[in-house]
Amino acid sequence: MKEVTAAIILKGNQVLIAQRAQDDKLAGKWEFPGGKVEPGETPQECLKREIYEELTLEIEVRDFFAQSIYSYANGAIKLMAFYCQWIAGEVTLQVHSRVAWATWQELDQYDFAPADIPLVDKLKLL
């Protein structure tokens, strides 16, 4: 099972979400940005690296938020989400087609990747 991370980056009552690019397997789906944990890397180190690579943002990884296990056609993933603080940088899209700041109530308006849906459901309870 692949270990994958996701950043819950908050600004007031909004969370940063990103739309997968058209050449991606899950093209057009929305997600909490992050990526695959590399060998020898902690989930927190992975998240800092991935957010910088994907969005050119520096973040501080804080508390664990939740996890989701989902079996895609090409294998199962364990998606581990952490609260993160935006430290520096401006969003520069490297692998996504768009980003958005959404309130908890607005999250239902986005078509999320299946593994991210349990995270959306938990956020809506906050």
Q: By the 8 A CB rule, do 121 and 108 touch?
A: no
Residues 39, 72, 47, 57: is their CA dihedral positive or negative? positive
Query: Distance between CA atoms of 104 and 107, rounded to whole angstroms?
Result: 5
Give the pLDDT of residue 26: 84
Q: At CA 110, angle to CA 105 and CA 116, rounded to 5? A: 90
CA distances to 79, 111, 123 from 13, rounded to whole Å, are: 23, 20, 11
**Using one digit for the tens of pLDDT, what is the confidence trace for 29-58?**
999 999 999 999 999 999 999 999 999 999
Looking at domain 2-124, does it have CATH number 3.20.10.10?
no
pLDDT at 126 over 90: no
Q: Cα angle vertex 109, ends 104, 115, to 5°?
A: 75
Mean pLDDT of 73-100: 95
Domain boundaries, the chain: 2-124
pLDDT confidence of 22, banded at 50, 70, 90? confident
